[in-house]
């Protein structure tokens, strides 16, 4: 059979675009199908607009902090939501153009429309059937909503970045990284902000000390945390305000409710049954070490496979597929064990390696080094915000196996430490590194005394 393309990519997000570009540059004939926007979730309704909104939300605290340094601040509350929202949209549209230019420059054909399988080698788009020797599914994920009465009145992360009016009081449902980031944005921009979460504390899956510290900082910043709480129904008043009824019968009247309870793989519109691709019980696509689905010439990367929902991971996976298919050199495997991660809550969180709980399960003896302090800037500003740093060290090898930080620029700092850990750095390497003074980051190379020893055999017996 003669195919139209060597590779057909469904979804022009981070992973799909990277795979398409690299494959085309290796000589393959490639097309990308996209039904919404170039750049995927990250560029349009994820990382990029989120980070821009975080920057905006930090100015209110900066204005307050500046007073202690001699500035006179007259108007710190004149914030215009429409200006931020529309400037953000203009930047996203610019980035959409950049992605289009990258694909065009690599010789990739862009097909706009909804794609669905008609066979294992054919995809229908806009009444046209396109064939390909290999097909890559990179459709990403989609926000989920709880099926409760009135859920249609709530926002998801998709709509959050385009709200017509900025709320004066809002509920964020959930306590994962999206929820705490959105709560920080709302709070920083002047909204009376509430987090409603069925568990306790926030950021399940992160290091327990980090979770507790972030929770304290959120409350200190004025965000109200409603633990062990769910919303049972939502009513919309004639005024446009929403009344949320909680599981204990109490109510809360707000201007907006934002669902941030998770995302699911976007596979339903693809008609995968026509291609013989099976969907795992958890809703994702299962793939092997080469990112092949159960149909060997159909691949999948990114959020749709449900491994690690991060843009750089999708990029690495897309690169692997391109090299696997069209390069004579062996592709570099993605290291899922050491993925530096940042959460842009306020203060920021950065982490790489194991949590303390994971270290206890995997190692006999681990020394825990930690430090909590008020950063130098806040001594004059009066800002009560603190920093927290933590290192986990395998006693047997002296290797640093976990590194965690909450504080300003945590993501920037942890990125460098991620390189060190990837290279196998030991605690002795950290200790022998000269610190940059005065910085917060130098704390990572000056922590000398372990706070405690943990592990399967922490006593050393």
What are the residues whose beta carbons fall under 8 Å from the beta carbon of 359, sequence distance 6 or more? Answer: 366, 392, 394, 401, 402, 454, 455
Q: Is the pLDDT of residue 8 over 60?
A: yes
Q: Is the pLDDT of residue 160 over 70?
A: yes
Percentage above 70 pLDDT, the chain: 99
Q: Which residues are part of the catalytic machinery?
A: 437
- What is the per-residue pLDDT for 256? 98
Q: What pLDDT does 175 receive?
A: 97
- Residue 460's pLDDT is what? 58
- The whole-number pLDDT of residue 458 equals 74
Percent of the chain with pLDDT strictly greater than 90: 95
Q: What is the pLDDT of residues 75-86, one digit of tens each?
A: 656 899 999 999
- What pLDDT, on the 0 to 100 scale, is given for residue 1? 80
Q: pLDDT (tens digit, 9 = 90+) per residue, 412-426?
A: 999 999 999 999 999
- Which pLDDT belongs to residue 459? 64
- Give pTM, 2 decimals: 0.95
Q: From CA 448, how far away is CA 199, in angstroms rounded?
A: 35
Domains of the chain: 5-143+264-326 (3.50.50.60), 151-261 (3.50.50.60), 341-454 (3.30.390.30)
Average of per-residue pLDDT values in the chain: 96
Instruction: Give the pLDDT of residue 76.
Output: 55
Per residue in 383-415, pLDDT tens?
999 999 999 999 999 999 999 999 999 999 999
Whether 461 has a pLDDT exceeding 80, the answer reads no
Whole-number pLDDT of residue 75 = 66
Give me the pLDDT at residue 78, please.
82
Which range (69-78, 179-188, 265-274, 402-411) has the least confidence?
Answer: 69-78
pLDDT of residue 95: 96
Report the pLDDT value the prediction gives residue 457, as an integer from 0 to 100: 85
Residue 308 has pLDDT above 70, yes or no: yes
pLDDT at 74 over 90: no
271 has pLDDT over 70? yes
Q: What confidence score (pLDDT) does residue 90 get?
A: 97
Mean pLDDT within 209-233: 97
- pLDDT digit string, tens, across residues 339-349: 999 999 999 99
Answer yes or no: is pLDDT of 170 > 60: yes
């Amino acid at each position: 059979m003669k195919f139209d393309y060597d590779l057909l990519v469904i979804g022009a997000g981070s992973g799909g675009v990277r795979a398409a570009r690299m494959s085309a540059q290796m000589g393959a004939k490639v097309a990308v199908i996209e039904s919404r926007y170039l750049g995927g979730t990250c560029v349009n309704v994820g990382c990029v607009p989120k980070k821009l909104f975080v920057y905006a939300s930090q100015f209110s605290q900066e204005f307050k902090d500046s007073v202690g340094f001699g500035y006179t601040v007259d108007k710190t509350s004149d914030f215009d939501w429409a200006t931020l929202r529309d400037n953000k949209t203009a930047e996203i549209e610019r980035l959409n153009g950049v992605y289009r230019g990258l694909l065009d420059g690599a010789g990739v054909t862009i097909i706009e429309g909804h794609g669905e399988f008609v066979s294992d080698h054919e995809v229908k788009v806009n009444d046209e059937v396109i064939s390909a020797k290999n097909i890559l599914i990179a459709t990403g994920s989609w926000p989920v909503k709880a099926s409760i009465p009135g859920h249609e009145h709530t926002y998801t992360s998709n709509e959050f970045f385009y709200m017509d009016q900025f709320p004066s009081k809002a509920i964020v449902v959930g306590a994962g990284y999206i929820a705490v980031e959105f709560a920080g944005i709302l709070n920083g921009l002047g909204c009376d902000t509430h987090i409603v979460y069925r568990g306790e504390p926030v950021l399940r899956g992160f290091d327990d000390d980090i979770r507790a510290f972030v929770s304290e900082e959120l409350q200190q910043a004025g965000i109200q945390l409603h633990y062990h709480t769910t919303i049972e129904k939502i009513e919309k008043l004639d005024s446009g305000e929403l009344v949320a009824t909680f599981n204990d019968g109490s109510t809360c009247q707000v201007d907006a409710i934002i669902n941030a309870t998770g995302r699911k793989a976007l596979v339903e519109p693809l008609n995968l049954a026509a291609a013989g691709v099976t969907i795992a019980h958890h809703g994702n696509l299962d793939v092997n070490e080469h990112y092949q689905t159960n149909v060997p010439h159909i691949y999948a990367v990114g959020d749709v496979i449900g491994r690690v929902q991060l843009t750089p991971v999708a990029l690495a996976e897309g690169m692997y597929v391109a090299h696997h298919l069209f390069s004579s050199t062996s592709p570099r495997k993605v290291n899922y064990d050491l993925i530096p991660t940042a959460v842009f809550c306020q203060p920021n969180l950065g982490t790489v390696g194991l949590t303390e709980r994971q270290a206890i399960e995997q190692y006999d003896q681990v020394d825990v080094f930690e430090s909590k302090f008020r950063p130098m800037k806040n001594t004059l500003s009066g800002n009560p915000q603190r920093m927290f740093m933590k290192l986990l060290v395998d006693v047997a090898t002296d290797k640093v196996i976990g590194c965690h930080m909450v504080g300003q620029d945590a993501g920037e700092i942890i990125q460098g430490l991620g390189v060190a850990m990837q290279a196998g750095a030991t605690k002795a390497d950290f200790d022998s590194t000269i610190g940059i003074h005065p910085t917060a980051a130098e704390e990572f190379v000056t922590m000398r005394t372990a706070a405690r020893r943990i592990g399967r055999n922490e006593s050393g017996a």
